[in-house]
Amino acid sequence: MELRGPADRNWLLVLDGLPDPVSRSREFTRRALTAWKWLPAEGDSVREAAEDVLLLVSEVVANACLHGGGPGALVLDRTEERLRIEVTDLNPAPPKPRDPAVRPDPARPGGHGLLIVERLARAWGSRPGAAGKCVWLEVPWP
């Protein structure tokens, strides 16, 4: 089920129980960015920023699926200065980026999601929730 707040500021997607939450989150985010006029012509730097946002959404939703007991909701909140992305999950433990000094096992995929978040987001973190946590990140509004 999808719910939207004021289309000019907040969008909410309830993910709990949805099949393929990563793809649905990307499409939902793409629709929000389009409504907010953030998806201009190909090759534009704003378009590249939008692709970064889609990657960030994919990473935090995938992390909620893999490590958080499943995603609860995705919130997109924009102001004139920034876009804030929030994803809730059921695991109260805060996310921990992989130690860059520890070499990952090449036979196991993944493990780079939070490194991507750290590089692309202006800020990120988590806060406890009623049943789990909320992982948030912010990117500058173009």
In tens digits, what is the pLDDT along the chain, a chain of 142 residues? 454 555 689 999 999 999 999 999 999 999 999 888 876 555 566 778 889 999 999 999 999 999 999 999 999 999 989 999 999 999 999 998 776 666 666 555 556 788 889 999 999 999 999 889 999 999 998 7
Domains belonging to the chain, first-starting first, are 2-140 (3.30.565.10)
Alpha carbon distance 134, 99 (integer Å):
22
Contact 17, 9 (CB under 8 A): no
Cβ-based neighbours of 124, under 8 Å, separated by 6 or more: 117, 118, 135, 136, 137, 138
Return the beta strands (E) in the chain as ranges: 2-4, 10-14, 71-78, 82-89, 123-129, 132-140
